[in-house]
Structure 1
Amino acid sequence: MSRAGRAAPPQAAPATADAAAVAELRRRLAARDKVIAVLKRRVRERDHSAASPLATLQHNVALGRVVAMKTRELSEERHELQRALTELGRTQAALLQAQKMESVGQLAAGIAHEINTPAQYVRDNVAFVRKGMAAADEVLAAALAVVEAARGCGGLEAPVEAFEAAVRRTRFDYVRRQVPEALEQSLEGLDRISRIVGAMKQFSHPSAGEKERVDLRPLVETAVTVARNEWKYVAQMEQDFAEDVPEVSCLRDEIGQVLLNLVVNAAHAISDSLVPGQRDKGRIAISVRRFGDRHVDIRVADDGPGIPEAIRTRVFDPFFTTKPVGKGTGQGLAMAYSTVVDKHGGALFFETGAGPGTTFVVRLPIEATGAGP
């Protein structure tokens, strides 16, 4: 389910519960098998007893009914066991993927630092070359003026013709026009790398489990930057921040994770609705507004296909996902709900209708409540 950290115990608990359920089912199946074996043995013993044929027949009919009933129960419990085993397998695969992504997250800060260092000195060098080109262009303009003035002067025809031939051969006029633009594009790309690296470092930096006053604008912008690779090919991104939004007391990194999940989910929802040649890109709109006097709403809206009515009640369930294994763990929205509601005393809900589009709303209290840390 596209709508759907370090704490291992919360992730392991569901798998432990599933394993216990499977063990209980196995025990009950073994007990059923023993009961059926005993009943069958009694039928065989009755066949060889000295009781009257009528009594034997009546007893056998009664035992046959019991055996049939127990067999049906056994069959149902076998199916239940199979379903439990299948669900356990999916849960284990989801946990493995979650642990892998957790490891990637822990490495993100170090990777960001390693990228930032060479990117920074490359940017400095490109900026230096841009300044150097400006100076060189000034000198070249003066040189071209001298060449133009020397044209037709006695004894200078050959050097002037050689200079003009070199200009034509090297396509100097084209290079002179294009180099400044190439340098500007290079600097823009390097600035983008720096913003991405900065967002990754900020995103991976823990908030020590303590609530702090947070400006939501950079928090949203960081989540959008980190998730850029998920949405840039499928959607146009719009951001709208009201001017009167105050800072909010929250767990900065955990709310950042909530926003990241919602942006990624919106991108995946839109991706599922794209049709080449008809609908090449969708739209994601993020807005931040006050809600009354005590809350702030962060709304993440997409124009994807919406949430089917049949699964709307399960959207926030742990491990519920419509994605294949490896594409989603079904934990994103469940963890987001726990973060917003349990830890912040806020609300997380969605608005969707019969038509396309879904809006998830994160409603946070401006001041810290008694919920959470």
Structure 2
Amino acid sequence: MGTPGDSSPGSSALLPTDISVTSGPSWGSGGRILWLSNEWEKPHPLPESLRGLGMEVKCVHSSLVALGLVSDFNADVFWLESSDGELSLEEILDALRGPRRINPLGVVISPGWSSALPGNELGPSDEIIDSDDCLTNPWQLLQLIKVTRLERQIIQRENEILNSLPHALLVVDGDLVLWKVNVQVEKLLEIHDPDYRKKALGRHFGLGLSHAGIAAEGTTTYSQLVRELEQAVKGKRGRIRVKETIGGTEKLLSAEITQLVHSPAHFLIDIRDITADEKAVLVEARRERLATIGNLSVGVAHEIQNPNTFSRVNAANLKMMISALTPVIQHATLASGGKLGNMQAETFLQKMNEAVAAVDMASRRIESVLNTLKSFGRQDNGQLEAVSIRRVVDESVMLVRHEARGKCDIEIDVAESVPPVTASATGLSQVIVNLLQNSVHALASHIPHTGANGAKIVIKTEVITDEEVILSVSDNGPGIPENLQDKIFRPYFTTKAQGQGTGLGLSISSDMMHRFGGDLTLRSRTGEGATFYIKLRRHEEPPAQS
């Protein structure tokens, strides 16, 4: 046998030209071998021969240490030469099963140790190679290195394709162990750990998140998402929807689960943030419902207007008739001492006039309510215009007054002289009605503890400057806890019982105010009520074109 590096004719030792793994730029310049052997005093010559011929070899004498180096050393081949007694061959191969699926690794088992392999069964990337034979015939080792690198290139290409796709994608098995994941998952779930994949792959999806530092107060976050995915995978459900708090904001996530045809034990999960889409759908549905209610209210108002007009006309006719009959009645009752039956004529005439006036007043009030309904029912065309705050406040209060009856008083402290603001009258009315209804509901839930006496809502003008007008809607209810104040403007957040609120009212109101160029803010303390501030721009007429 020749010495390593001997290039003389007839030499049977490994030559640098023999051991090169490079058949092109894609193969690299040499193999990386992780060598496990218990030989301390008389090490085998093969590792040194491989080093001299361009291979990088790391020799270890502990199977536990070797397993810890598999990922960091990034070996092409793990050569199991002899046992150290710490772990059996079966235990070592079992420990490698997960990492090898993530990053392919060839395994060489010496003939002496391979007899311990259960059933003498080898994996697709396992080889039994005699180290003495490898000194003179490296081709089996070379082929294993090439196959390993080819498998890695395939996986790398798969990862590149996954990362190029716009959705958050991951591949799991039936136990929700994560085997593939793209960068969109990290972006969607706001995972900032650069080693997330290294920590998460081969582990349960939830455990991988925890290892990456996605935990709060000792509890893994995204618990709802993880739980729903587990149930969906086990139950073979194709889709889930779940609410999760991401980066301090509650979002609605949708996940499509597809069982892989070529690997039925694995599932491709496509996770998407559908918060904006769902909000748009709900806003549109609400807009349609409001439009329907508006159209109905206009129709109902029209139907009521006709008999109400008839009542007003007849009330006016009665007033004229009573006025004409007054001297006749007075003259006719002179003989009876000014009495009409048992009632004084003057008292009778006074009550008649009061009754007719009451009918006229009620009719006028009905007309005012009908006009408000017609105004509120008109479609919002999205155009911003000069809007009278006092008029919108009056109309909004009228729409909520019946709901507040018996629960609280509503006070208005807004002068008629408040300058017009830039807004949509229908939109601003919707904002104020929403705030009033929220206050009424809060006060109603507070009444069982405090009683209705003194419960009130106040609408007042806070600030008027050359540029803006700030209106406030405040109540003396239970207030809003500090830990909820940064959440109430988020879509879908609600403190009401299931089915009693969509969680969109304040979100839509805030969006509406921003569309007006204004803002909607809150100031509240628990037990001291809540005040919402509506900031609006003063309206400026565009300069006349000459």
Using the size of structure 2 for normalisation, the TM-score is 0.48
Amino acid at match of 1:130: K
Code of the residue aligned with 2:304 in structure 1: it is: I
Change (3 A) 1:115 1:328: farther
CA distance in 2, matches of 1:115, 1:69: 63
- Counterpart of 2:316 in structure 1 is 127
Q: Sort the Cα spacing of 1:97 and 1:253 in 2 relative to 1 into closer, same or farther, 3 A.
A: closer
Relative distance call for 1:217 and 1:289 in structure 2 (3 A) is: same
Q: Note the 1:140-179 alignment, pairs <5 A.
A: 140-148=329-337, 167=341, 178-179=351-352
CA contact (8 A) 2:376 2:426 kept: yes
SS at match of 1:191: helix
Alpha-carbon distance in structure 2 between the residues aligned to 1:102 and 1:331: 17
Aligned partner of 1:224 in structure 2 is 397
- Per-residue displacement from partner, 1:80-106 (whole Å, max 9, x unpaired)? 4479646579x7997798354442133
What is the letter of the counterpart of residue 359 of structure 1? T
Instruction: Measure, in 2, the Cα distance between the counterparts of 1:105 and 1:263.
Output: 19
Is the strand fraction higher in 1 or 2? 2
Task: State the identity %.
Answer: 26
Whole-angstrom distance in 1 between the partners of 2:313 and 2:397: 26
- Match of 2:140? none
What is the rounded CA distance, in whole Å, between the counterparts of 2:412 and 2:434 in structure 1?
16
1:256 Cα deviation (Å)?
Answer: 1.9
- Measured after TM superposition, the shift of residue 366 of structure 1 is 1.0
Name which of 484, 506, 520 aligns with 1:348. 520
Distance (Å, rounded) in 1 between the aligned partners of 2:497 and 2:176: 38
Q: Would the alpha carbon gap of residues 292 and 229 (structure 1) be closer, same or farther in structure 2, given more than 3 Å must change?
A: same
Match status 1:204 vs 2:377: yes
Cα displacement string for residues 323-357 of structure 1 (whole angstroms, at most 9, x for unaligned residues): 2355322222111111112x122121011123321
After the TM superposition, which residues 275-354 of structure 1 pair with which residues of structure 2 at under 5 Å, given as runs?
275=448, 278-280=451-453, 282-341=455-514, 343-354=515-526
Distance 1:189 1:60, change over 3 A: same
Aligned AA for 2:535? R
Residue by residue, what CA displacement relative to the aligned partner does 1:247-286 show, whole Å, maximum 9, x if unpaired?
A: 2222222122112212222222211211388334511111
Q: Is the 8 A contact 1:211 1:368 kept in 2?
A: no
Give the corresponding residue for 2:300. 111
Deviation of the 1:212 alpha carbon = 1.6
Separation (CA, whole Å) in 2 of partners of 1:277 and 1:254: 34
SS at match of 1:273: helix
Whole-Å separation in 2 of the counterparts to 1:57 and 1:326: 54
Equivalent position SS for 2:406: coil
Shift of 1:136: 3.2
Are the equivalent residues in 2 in contact too, given 1:294–1:366 (CA < 8 A)? yes
Could you say which residue in structure 2 is the equivalent of 1:240? Answer: 413
Question: In the TM superposition, what whole-angstrom CA distance separates every residue of 1:36-92 from its partner, at most 9, and x where no partner exists?
Answer: xxxxxxxxxxxxxxxxx9433554577699997838548965514479646579x79
Residue matched to 2:90 = 56
Distance 2:499 2:475 in 1: 23
**Conserved 8 A contact 1:199-1:222:** yes
Q: Would the alpha carbon gap of residues 136 and 62 (structure 1) be closer, same or farther in structure 2, given more than 3 Å must change?
A: farther
Q: Which of 357, 374, 380 is the aligned partner of 1:184?
A: 357
Give the Å deviation of 1:174. Answer: 8.3
Q: Which of 434, 444, 457 is residue 271 of structure 1 equivalent to?
A: 444
Deviation at 1:305, TM superposition (A): 1.0
> Judging changes above 3 Å, is the alpha-carbon distance between structure 1 residues 368 and 230 closer, same or farther for their aligned structure 2 residues?
farther
Shift of 1:196: 0.7
Contact residue 94 and residue 328 of structure 1 kept, 8 A: no
Moved more, 71-80 or 244-253: 71-80
* AA matched with 1:361: Y
Amino acid at match of 1:339: M
Which residue, out of 513, 529, 532, partners 1:357?
529
Shift of the 57–314 alpha-carbon distance from structure 1 to 2, 3 Å rule, reads same
Largest Rg, 1 or 2 = 2
5+ residue gaps in structure 2? Answer: 1-86, 102-172, 178-202, 208-222, 233-239, 244-251, 255-277, 542-546
* Cα distance change of structure 1 residues 137 and 258 upon mapping to structure 2, 3 Å threshold: same
Q: CA distance change for structure 1 residues 291 and 173 in 2, over 3 Å: closer, same or farther?
A: closer
* Count of aligned pairs between the two proteins: 300
Partners of 2:490 and 2:450 in 1: CA distance: 36
Q: CA deviation at 1:313?
A: 0.7
Per the normalisation by structure 1, the TM-score is 0.67
The alpha-carbon distance between structure 1 residues 368 and 79, as it changes in their structure 2 partners (threshold 3 A), is farther
Superposed displacement of residue 179, structure 1: 4.0
Stretch deviating more after TM superposition (172-181 or 114-123): 172-181
Asked whether the equivalents of residues 318 and 334 of structure 1 are also in contact (C-alpha less than 8 Å), the reply is yes
Tell me the CA shift for residue 319 of structure 1: 1.9
Unaligned runs of 5+ in 1: 1-52, 150-163
2:368 is matched with 195
> Secondary structure of 2:474's match?
strand
> Residue 319 of structure 1: SS of its match in structure 2?
coil
Amino acid at match of 1:294: E
What is the match of residue 25 of structure 1?
none
For the residues of structure 1 that align with 2:322 and 2:449, how far apart are their CA atoms? 43
> Is 2:227 the counterpart of 1:79?
yes
Q: CA RMSD in A?
A: 3.9
Q: Given the superposition, is the C-alpha separation of residues 363 and 126 from structure 1 closer, same or farther in structure 2, using an over 3 Å criterion? A: same
Compare 119-128 and 268-277 and name the one that shifted more.
Answer: 268-277
Higher relative contact order, chain-length normalized (CA < 8 Å, sep 6+): 1
The structure with the largest helix share of the pair is: 1
